């Protein structure tokens, strides 16, 4: 007999899974084993709930199934007899649902899980992969596809991350006040990278990966619920919302890339823009702004302009000046060069772009050639603009961006030949 799987059930399982994993990992003190047990519980739920109905306490159901799986595993390993007794005692003292402070504190446990996945002991790529796997609920295959690596490679990366957590004896708890600043920095950086990869994938045929960008927004909202007055968290959420608000206008009906200055602004999500602007104002009201607040402020200036020609470029340039002063980042310097060109002209901005060729952190990046081509095009120097666009197209691994750059080069070459 075939049972139709309700997509709403899938969303429910995805939402509660990290909360249940958080409790099981805290109780069992073995992240890898806890994740395996929760995965088995999710499989059991997907098979049983369509026929039996969703239980009144889905988290409690999954928790008990996962804990029983762990008990069975421990029972088969005599060397772990003490842990078996601990897990069995836990099961014997709980009823149909864990007590308040266990699964009932699911959002807190999701945050604990997020902090653990973004622990400084892990590399950036490992943190991203583990966060998407354990907290976001994506499969290993989905994560591998998003980052254009073989599934086996991603599986190894996730496995190594779990082993690092186990070997480092990282406690499964929220960081202390003294640790929180460092850990939060890692959390926000990972969420920022996940969002960027979802909004503008670094490679492949997709123009965007909404599963990644939406998950980054969801998790950032969760962090902000716990830290509502933290300006960095608020600034990052504002940046995500103000950027994501333009998503519907980033592509033609055929899926071709549409640059910011050519987008149909009537397609922008005004509700997201209003929320983002409100968050920016809150994030800038306290201490001196950090990188996320400043980037969000720049995004707000873009989003509040009715037309591209109404953009307040002097204000954007001033914000980039401040941002570059606190963040030695060549990509920020490149973006500032674009704003500088809009205020002072392309000829004045070209030396700024050329100087970045000497920065090993960005030398050879396709965006250097793309921006150089844009500035040369504005100067009317088509003979140099066309090769710059073509060089950028050769260097990018994103198919939509490659197609856009090649089309720009072809159109300019055709117009110049007439």
Q: What is the mean pLDDT of residues 178-193?
A: 85
- The stretch 250-258 carries a mean pLDDT of 91
Q: What pLDDT is stored for residue 192 in this prediction?
A: 93
Cβ 174 vs Cβ 112: under 8 Å = yes
Q: Report d(CA 324, CA 245) in Å as an integer.
A: 25
Maximum C-alpha span of the chain = 84
Asked whether the predicted pLDDT for residue 21 surpasses 90, the reply is no
Q: Calculate mean pLDDT across residues 41-70.
A: 86
Q: How confident is the model at residue 291 (pLDDT cuts 50, 70, 90)?
A: very high
The answer to whether residues 134 and 35 touch, using CB atoms and an 8 Å cutoff, is: yes
pLDDT band at 148 (very low <50, low <70, confident <90, very high): low
One-character DSSP codes across 174-199: PPPHHHHHHHHHHHHHHHHHHHHHHH
pLDDT class for 100, splitting at 50, 70, 90?
Answer: very low
Cβ neighbours around 324 below 10 Å, total: 16
Give the pLDDT mean for 225-253: 95
CA distance 94 to 87: 11
Q: Is the dihedral of CA 325, 327, 328, 330 positive or negative?
A: negative
Is the pLDDT score of 171 beyond 90?
no
Tokens representing 287? 């201490």
Give the CA radius of gyration of the chain. 25
Q: Using an 8 Å Cβ cutoff, are 331 and 323 in contact?
A: no
**In this structure, are residues 391 and 357 in contact, taking their beta carbons and an 8 Å threshold?**
no
* pLDDT, the chain, mean: 86
Query: How many angstroms separate the CA atoms of 16 and 392, rounded?
Result: 43
Q: If 0-12 CB within 10 Å is exposed, 13-18 middle and 19+ buried, where does residue 152 land?
A: exposed
First to last CA, the chain: 68
% the chain with pLDDT above 90: 45
- What pLDDT is recorded for position 6? 61
Residue 82 CA to residue 88 CA, distance in Å, equals: 10
């Amino acid at each position: 007999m075939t049972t139709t799987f309700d997509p709403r059930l899938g969303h429910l399982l995805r939402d509660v899974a990290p909360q249940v994993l958080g409790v099981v990992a805290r109780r069992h003190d073995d992240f890898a084993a806890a994740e395996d047990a929760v995965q088995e519980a999710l499989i059991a739920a997907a098979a049983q709930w369509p026929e039996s109905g969703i239980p009144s306490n889905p988290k409690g159901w999954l928790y008990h199934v996962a804990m029983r799986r762990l008990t069975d595993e421990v029972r088969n390993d005599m060397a772990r007899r003490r842990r078996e007794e601990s897990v069995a005692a836990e099961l014997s003292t709980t009823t149909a649902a864990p007590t308040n402070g266990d699964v009932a504190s699911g959002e807190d446990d999701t945050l604990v899980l997020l902090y653990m996945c973004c622990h400084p002991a892990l590399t950036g790529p490992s943190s991203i992969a583990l966060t998407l796997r354990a907290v976001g609920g994506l499969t290993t295959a989905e994560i591998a596809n998003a980052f254009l690596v073989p599934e086996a490679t991603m599986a190894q990366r996730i496995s190594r991350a779990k082993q690092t957590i186990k070997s480092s004896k990282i406690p499964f708890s929220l960081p202390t006040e003294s640790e929180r600043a460092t850990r939060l920095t890692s959390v926000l950086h990972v969420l920022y990278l996940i969002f960027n990869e979802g909004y503008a994938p670094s490679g492949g045929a997709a123009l965007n990966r909404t599963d990644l960008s939406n998950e980054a927004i969801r998790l950032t909202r969760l962090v902000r619920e716990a830290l509502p007055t933290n300006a960095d968290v608020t600034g990052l959420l504002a940046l995500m919302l103000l950027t994501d608000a333009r998503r519907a206008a980033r592509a033609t009906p055929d899926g071709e890339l549409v640059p910011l200055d050519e987008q149909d602004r009537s397609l922008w999500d005004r509700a997201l823009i209003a929320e983002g602007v409100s968050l920016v104002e809150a994030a800038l009201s306290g201490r001196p702004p950090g990188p996320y607040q400043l980037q969000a402020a720049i995004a707000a200036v873009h989003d509040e302009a009715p037309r591209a020609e109404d953009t307040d470029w002097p204000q954007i340039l001033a914000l980039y000046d401040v941002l570059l002063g606190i963040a030695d980042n060549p990509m920020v310097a490149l973006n500032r060069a674009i704003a500088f060109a809009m205020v002072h002209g392309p000829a004045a901005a070209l030396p700024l772009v050329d100087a970045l060729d000497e920065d090993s952190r960005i030398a050879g990046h396709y965006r250097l050639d793309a921006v150089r081509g844009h500035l040369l095009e504005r100067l009317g120097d088509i003979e140099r603009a066309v090769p710059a666009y073509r060089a950028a197209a050769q260097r990018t691994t994103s198919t939509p961006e490659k197609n856009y750059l090649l089309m720009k080069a072809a159109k300019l070459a055709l117009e110049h030949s007439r």
